[in-house]
A and B are shown apart, each in its own frame.
Chain A
Amino acid sequence: MAFTTTTIIDGLAAAILLTTFIAIASNRMFSLVRLFALQSVALGLLAMAVASVTGAAHIYAVAVLTLGIKGAVIPWMLLYVMEKIKTTKEVEPLVSIPLSLLLCGVLTAVAFYITEPIIFTSGTITTITKNCLAISLAVVLIGFYTMIARKKAVTQIMGLLTMENGLFLAAISVTYGMPMIVELGIFFDILVAVLIMGLFAFRINKTFDSVDTTILRRLHD
Chain B
Amino acid sequence: MIEYLLLIPLIVAAICYPLRRRALVEAVAVTGSAVTLLASLMISYEVFTTGTLDEGLLYMDALSAYVLLLVSLVGLLACIYSITYLRQEMEDGEITELKLRNYYIFFQLFVFTMLLVCVSNNLGIMWIAIEGTTLASAYLVGLYDRDTSIEAAWKYLVICSVGITLALLGTIIVYASSIQVLGEESNALNWSTLWANASSLDPGLLKISFIFVLIGYGTKVGLSPMHTWLPDAHSQAPTPVSALLSGVLLNCAMYGILRYHMIVSGSPLGAGFSGGLLLLFGIISVATAAAFIIMAKDYKRMLAYSSIEHMGIIAIGFGFGGFWGIFGALFHMLNHALAKTLLFFGAGKVLQRFHTKDIDKVHGLIKVLPFTGALLLGGGLAITGCPPFSLFLSEFMIMVGGLSSQSYLGTILYILLLVIVFAAFLKHIGGMVFGEPLEEITPKERRGPDVAVMGVLLVAILALGLYVPGFLNEVLDQIYRLFVPGGGA
Contact = CB atoms under 8 A, between A and B. Distances in A.
Nearest to A156: B158
Contacts of B154: 153, 200, 204, 213, 216
B184 A147 contact: no
B245 interface: no
Interface string A126-148: 00000000000000100010010
B122 interface: yes
Contacts of B236: 219
Contacts, number: 119
B180 to A, nearest CB: 7
A218 B235 CA distance: 13
Nearest to B132: A189
Interface string B229-247: 0011001100000000000
Which of A56, A153, A174, A208 has its CB near the most chain B CB atoms (within 10 A)? A174
B190 to A, nearest CB: 9
B124 A170 contact: no
Given A144-B162, A203-B142, A203-B150, A174 B180 contact: no
Q: At the interface, is chain A mostly helix, strand, loop or mixed?
A: helix
Interface in A164-208: 164, 167, 170-171, 174-176, 178-179, 181-182, 185-186, 188-189, 192-193, 196-197, 200, 203-204, 207-208
Contact of B292 (A171, A192, A196, A221): A221
B7 interface: no
Contact of A179 (B153, B180, B189, B292): B189
A124 interface: yes
Given A167-B172, A179-B124, A218-B148, A124 B158 contact: no
Given A144-B162, A221-B301, A178 B189 contact: yes
Contact of B147 (A144, A164, A178, A207): A207
Contacts of A163: 162, 165
Contact of B161 (A125, A188, A193, A216): A193
Contacts of A200: 138, 142, 150, 153-154, 157
Interface residues of A, number: 40
Contacts of B138: 196, 200
Interface of A: 56, 122, 124-125, 140, 144, 147, 153, 156, 160, 163-164, 167, 170-171, 174-176, 178-179, 181-182, 185-186, 188-189, 192-193, 196-197, 200, 203-204, 207-208, 213, 216, 218-219, 221
Given A124-B180, A204-B154, 10 more contacts: A124-B205, A163-B165, A164-B165, A175-B175, A182-B122, A182-B124, A182-B128, A189-B135, A193-B131, A208-B147
12 contacts: A124-B180, A163-B162, A178-B124, A179-B122, A179-B188, A182-B122, A185-B124, A185-B125, A186-B128, A189-B132, A193-B157, A200-B142
Interface of B: 57, 122, 124-125, 127-128, 131-132, 135, 138-139, 142, 145, 147-148, 150-155, 157-158, 161-162, 165, 168-169, 171-173, 175-177, 179-180, 184, 186, 188-189, 202, 204-205, 231-232, 235-236, 292, 295-297, 301
